[in-house]
Chains A and B, each alone.
Chain A
Amino acid sequence: MNANYDVIKKRLEAILEPESFMHKEEEIIAFECDALTYYRVKPVFVVLPSTNRQVSEIIKVCDEYDMPFVPRGAGTGLSGGALPVDDGVLISLAKMNQILEIDIPNRLVVVQPGVINRSVSEAVDGFGYYYAPDPSSQIVCTIGGNVAENSGGVHCLKYGVTTNHILGLEMVLPNGEIVELGGKNQEYPGYDLLSIVVGSEGLLGIVTKVILKISKKPQLVKTLFASFDKIENAGSSVSGIISNGIIPAGMEIMDNTCIKAVQISVKAGYPEDAESILLIELDGPTAEVEAQLPIVENVLRENSAIQIKIAKDETERELFWKGRKSAFAAMGRVSPDYYVQDGVIPRNKLAEVLTKTKQLSEEYGFTIANVFHAGDGNLHPLILFNSENEGEFEKVERLAGEILRICVEAGGSITGEHGVGFDKKGYIPLMFNEDDLDTMQLISCTFDTKGLCNPGKLFPTPRSCAEHGMTKERALELENKVEGELF
């Protein structure tokens, strides 16, 4: 507990409206974890500022008393990026939820960080536009959280991820200063600091305003799936389609375990006996989609597709996607608990990685279902387990780690869209050596010399900046305070 608890409390209370300041156990409990619920920590205070000024004032208090702080959007993150610090302040941006400006001629929308992803698209839908990044949690997750995690979605093969759709932002630095990066133009002189802040997992400051690029809605969308008796054939269809000069909006592969679970939960019309299915969405001008569709069908047939089904109308199209989007939740029908990983592999290594994953699954005795953003190599293995069984979660964590190791050995990454956060920071050394991490530290220190902003995330061991900074002792102390809790 910070020795200045009472002073800090008074200072924060003076900044915020009473209902936006929480310190009682029963109030704070809702904020003790994000969607990675295995880890829970109670912060000292929870604050819900409504303006950038308030965010700045709060951070100035934190800076003055060396109190760590953690930003939080909707708490849908899957890597523990919004896990609180037990002697820190949790800053929820939920009340900063206004769309500030819609500028159709310049194809941009200005929003506060607490705006929900989907509501941006809804706000510009009438003009024929939408906001392209569409993480599965888009009906709840916030733009601020998307910026922190550089969120993807099922359409990023063709349209890119969050970083490709941010023109500018306003942020409060860890010393309380408000700065603007980028703006409404597509190009500004100087270093591209935006590219660093997007995806920095809340370590560099708190974003208080975001300028988003919006895109024109496609004229025609065609969704189809093909079933295969070998997952390799689904994989080679993916490269076959791309080699033909076609970049679909999305390509998703599901394995049999996944298909079965989905069929039980939402009845998406997938063939239950298929070893795998490949879901494809083509979108764009009618002239383009209609020219591409027969080529895609050809590739699928060449790769021994058993069945090809094109959604006949919007209802069926939504059903196909519902199956894919509810894949995680559907696991609840077949298993008490599941643990999701987010590895990325080179797209041509799918069969090899799945074989190894299967071996691990047998070795550890857990079923693994696979959902795969096949277009961009992002694998989501779902490990099915029962947390009631003593010691199972620890085993699952080890297995998940082994899967990440396989992904990196195949030339991939430990995370494609969920972020490193608290969950995977121990695996960062699989990808980056000390020199790489030292270089990243130069960036941390550019923004946050004291290491107060979202400490204990992303990096395995905190490093200190030249003059200030967190000591290793302090880091270990933080580490030990996090309970590995099962639910």
Chain B
Amino acid sequence: MKINVDDFTKFLSHENIHAQRSELLKFQVFNKLPSVAVYPESYEQVSEIVKYCNENGYSVIPFGSCTKVNFGNIPTTYNVALSLEKLNKILGHNEADFIITAQAGAKFKDLQDFLISKNQFVALDPPQIDKGATIGGIIATNDYGPSRFRYGTFREQIIELVAVGTDGKIFKGGAKVVKNVAGYDIHKLFVGSMGTLGIILEASIKLYPVQEESLTFITGISDAGMLRSYIKKILDADLVLSALEIMNPELSSDIFRLSGIRPINFPHTLVLRIENVRKAVIDQMELVKNMLNSGGLEGAVIENDNLLWSYLRDFPYAGDKNCIACKVSVMINEIPGVLEYIQEFSENLDIKIYSSAKAGNGIVQLLIEGENKDLEIAVNLLRSYLTTMMGSLVYQHVPHDFGKFNTWGDLGASSHLMQTLKQNFDPNNILNPGRLI
């Protein structure tokens, strides 16, 4: 489709319209380049752009800092890259009410740094924040990190959302209060909607007080049976954990080396974090040590644990190697079995797997390195294994030249409702077409 780039001058100044190939490269999605990239500076401009594209059948992909471009299916069509880079303000911080409002293009790290200076924080630790991951992008992709165990995902943190629909309407869902049941929870629906229902403009987010102390406990576990019993013990114990991760040796040796911790060589490395007022952390850590030591496990308490958790937060980081990053979701008690399976099948393939399991959430993050053909065998094997337990596997990154693939797998028994929803919100299928639905 030929796009009339000049038409955008009706809504935008020239410096906010980029059509040179060199300027468009960062918006490449797999093998597709847009004809134009636009940088609106106001909600009204976003509204006009989307409305115009809708009327002309131009497909639009929204971007924050382009940190997750290989997440989602290959778009069926792609004409306009809509960057929210210039809508990046913190609009308000109600310090006394623990609520912050920011525009979609605001960088998560800027927001978090600002809040930490006020002794508050957004209770999320998604990856890529050092690379500029934005509020809008994190909401759209439902990205999260190890603290999901205690605080949940963006769905738990977002209280209000403002977005633009395909007809150019600017709408909101929710309210700037922490408890509210008026109207449908559109703000929650947009979490993980991959930019396919509307363009996110701004979000209001619940905040938490910074915790006084943080300590981490690390121990190695030698087999799946023991792992199963220790996960159960820990989940049943009277502890408030911030995070509980089980790393495989490939990942733990990498992360420990990077964080300056002496590596331990076990099939599974269990890492748990406790954050609270100081005395509560110290007392609970004693309980952890006693509980695990009595089972014959030796472990170490890590004091300055921020570096360790920032590496875990950024996993799976796509390095220079050809790789797939993905997440597996199963029931909590399937985790040891899944980890065992992953270990076994990776030995028979020419691939290298890094993994970390969120043991309390039934989620395993994986980074699989190898040639495309081996990667394909690996993910197909995993997916068919997971169908036996109603599990799912979603790709978060695939190589540019991976060929045909399905990011999401089976969307389940309500997929027709999802299709109808998409059709109602985006009847001309112009928003990120094909990437999710």
Contacts and interface: CB of A to CB of B under 8 A. Distances in A.
Contacts of A377: 97, 177-179
Interface in A130-165: 149-150, 152, 156-157, 160-161, 163-164
A287 interface: yes
Contacts of A20: none
Contact of B414 (A193, A431, A458): A193
Contacts of A196: 184-186, 188-189
A180 B412 contact: yes
Contacts of A285: 238-240, 280, 284, 287
A227 B413 CA distance: 54
B179 A378 contact: yes
A247 B165 CA distance: 37
Contacts of B96: 239, 346-348
A179 B417 contact: yes
A185 B330 contact: yes
A242 to B, nearest CB: 6
A75 interface: no
Interface in A287-314: 287-288, 290-292, 295
A295 B329 contact: no
Interface string A427-471: 010011001101110110111000000000010000000000000
A179 B97 CA distance: 39
Given A164-B156, A189-B409, A344-B179, A292 B188 contact: no
A283 B283 CA distance: 16
Contacts of B98: 242, 347
Contacts, number: 262
B171 A438 contact: yes
Interface residues of B, number: 84
B276 A443 contact: no
Interface in B186-243: 186, 188-189, 191-193, 197-198, 208-212, 232, 235-236, 238-240
A376 interface: yes
B371 to A, nearest CB: 26
B329 A195 contact: no
Contact of A156 (B179, B189, B236, B394): B179
Interface string B107-123: 00000000000010000
A286 B362 contact: no
B387 interface: no
What size tier do the contact residues of chain A reach? 35 or more
Contact of A376 (B175, B178, B211, B391): B178
A163 B185 contact: yes
Contacts of A419: 181
B329 A446 contact: no
A183 interface: yes
Contact of B418 (A149, A190, A431): A190
B102 interface: no
A187 B422 CA distance: 20
Contacts of A346: 94, 96-97, 99, 176-177
A270 B413 CA distance: 53
B378 to A, nearest CB: 19
Interface string B64-105: 000000000000000000000000000000101111000000
A292 B177 contact: no
Nearest to B358: A186
A200 B155 CA distance: 16
Given A105-B333, A184-B331, 14 more contacts: A179-B417, A185-B330, A195-B155, A195-B189, A196-B185, A242-B98, A245-B212, A376-B177, A377-B97, A413-B177, A435-B169, A436-B172, A438-B171, A439-B186
